[in-house]
Amino acid sequence: MKCGKCASAVIYPEGLDGEIVCATCGLVIEGTFSLKHFSQWKPEWFSNWNEQDSETLKEWLTTLRAVSCQLNIPNFPYREEAARTIRKQNRILSKSKKLSKNKRATVAALMHLVLAEYDKVRSIKDISNELSLDKKLVLKRVWILNKTLNQERSEIKIQRKTSTDYLHEKGGKITLNKEIVSIAENTLGQVKGLGGNPRGVAAGALYFACKKKNRISKKEIGQVFGISERTVYANEARIRRLMATKARPDSTPMIICS
C-alpha cells in the first residue's frame, strides 16, 4: 500500500484514534477501529441497582440477592427474571402492605413462580425450609402475587401446562408403548375438570393406564414427573374412583305412567 501524496510504502496505524497514517508525510490515509476509544458493550443486569434507584427498590433487590444466594439459584435467567419483575412491578410491591411487610417471604414466592415459569419446579416447602420461613406465609404470598400481578398484566406470565401437556412431555420417558399413553390421554379426557395439580393428575392417569397394561411402579412414574409416589397413588385413586362412577349404569328410578 502506497501513500497517495508522497508514494511512500511505509504506512502504519499511528494516529491518535488509530488511523492509518503515512510514516513519511503524515497523511491520514484511512480511519480505523480504535482500541483506545472503543466502547465496550455491557449487558443490562436488572439485579444491579444504581444511585437513581429508590431506597425501597434497593431493599427489594438486596433481598433478592440474599434469597437467591441462599437457595443457590443461578443469576441467569432466574434471578434476573425475578429482578426484572421487581423493577416493573415496584409500585405494586411497595404499595401492598401484605407484600412489603415481609420482603423475604414475597421474594421467596416470586422465585417459586419464576422457577415454575422455566419448568424448574421447586416446592414452596423446600424454599421455605431453606429460608427458615413459614410455608403458609410463602404460600399466601404466591397466591397474592399471582392475583395482583395478573390483574396488572404483569410481564411474568406463568404458562399453566395442562395435564395432557405433562403426559406428552413425560410419558415417553417412562414407556414407549403408545397404547398406554393413548389410554392415559383418553382417561384425562374423561376426568376433565377433576382439579388438582396437572402434573400430578397426568402422573395418576398414566399409572392408572399402566396398571391395566404394564407393570410400571408409581415410584418410577413419580421420579420422572418430579413428584412423590404417594402423590401419584393419590391421583390414580381419585381417577379410579371417578372412572368407576362413570362406568356404573344410571341408577335413576324409572317413572311409569299409568
Residue showing cell 429482578: 83
Q: Is the pLDDT of residue 136 over 80?
A: yes
pTM of model > 0.75: no
Is 41 within a domain?
Answer: no
Are 93 and 131 within one domain?
A: yes
Are 63 and 142 within one domain?
A: yes
pLDDT the model gives residue 1:
58
Are 132 and 84 within one domain?
A: yes
Cβ-contact 175, 212 below 8 angstroms: no
pLDDT the model gives residue 47:
76
Q: What is the DSSP letter of 255?
A: P
* Percent of the chain at pLDDT exceeding 70: 74
Are 125 and 211 within one domain?
A: no
Residue showing cell 433478592: 64
Are 133 and 192 within one domain?
A: no
Are 59 and 30 within one domain?
A: no
Average pLDDT over residues 54-77: 89
The C-alpha atoms of residue 219 and residue 222 are separated, in whole angstroms, by 5
Average pLDDT over residues 191-210: 87
Query: Who has greater pLDDT, 28 or 91?
Result: 91
pLDDT the model gives residue 108:
95
Average pLDDT over residues 137-163: 74
Q: Which amino acid is at 194?
A: L
Average pLDDT over residues 63-82: 89
User: Which of 122, 151, 180 represents a domain boundary (last residue)?
Assistant: 151
Is 44 within a domain?
Answer: no
Cβ-contact 33, 44 below 8 angstroms: no
Is 45 within a domain?
Answer: no
The H-or-E segment that residue 15 falls in is none
Q: Is the pLDDT of residue 129 over 90?
A: yes
Are 146 and 168 within one domain?
A: no
Are 145 and 67 within one domain?
A: yes
Q: Is the pLDDT of residue 50 over 50?
A: yes
The C-alpha atoms of residue 213 and residue 206 are separated, in whole angstroms, by 11
Note the Cα 30 to chain centre separation in Å: 50
Are 115 and 27 within one domain?
A: no
Query: Who has greater pLDDT, 21 or 118?
Result: 118
In 3D space, the residue among 88, 70, 40, 218 whose CA is nearest the CA of residue 132 turns out to be 70
Q: How confident is the model at residue 131 (pLDDT cuts 50, 70, 90)?
A: very high
The C-alpha atoms of residue 138 and residue 124 are separated, in whole angstroms, by 7
Cβ-contact 114, 154 below 8 angstroms: no
Average pLDDT over residues 31-54: 57
Are 172 and 204 within one domain?
A: yes
What pLDDT, in 10s, does the model give residues 4-29? 667 666 544 444 455 566 666 666 65
The C-alpha atoms of residue 203 and residue 171 are separated, in whole angstroms, by 8
Q: Which amino acid is at 43?
A: P
Per the structure, the complete domain to which residue 124 belongs is given by: 55-151
pLDDT the model gives residue 53:
82
pLDDT the model gives residue 70:
93
Highest mean pLDDT among 10-14, 43-47, 208-212: 208-212
Among 44-58, 79-93, 107-121, whose mean pLDDT is lowest? 44-58
Average pLDDT over residues 29-44: 45
Among 11-15, 62-66, 150-154, whose mean pLDDT is lowest? 11-15
Report phi then psi at 31, rounded to 5.
-80, 155
| CATH number of the domain residue 231 falls in | 1.10.472.10
Cell of 234: 393419590
Is 249 within a domain?
Answer: no
Are 131 and 180 within one domain?
A: no
Cell of 34: 480504535
Is 237 within a domain?
Answer: yes
Are 74 and 142 within one domain?
A: yes
pLDDT the model gives residue 248:
65
* Percent of the chain at pLDDT exceeding 90: 27
Number of domains in the chain: 3
Q: How confident is the model at residue 178 (pLDDT cuts 50, 70, 90)?
A: confident
Is 124 within a domain?
Answer: yes
Is 42 within a domain?
Answer: no
In 3D space, the residue among 176, 192, 175 whose CA is nearest the CA of residue 242 turns out to be 192
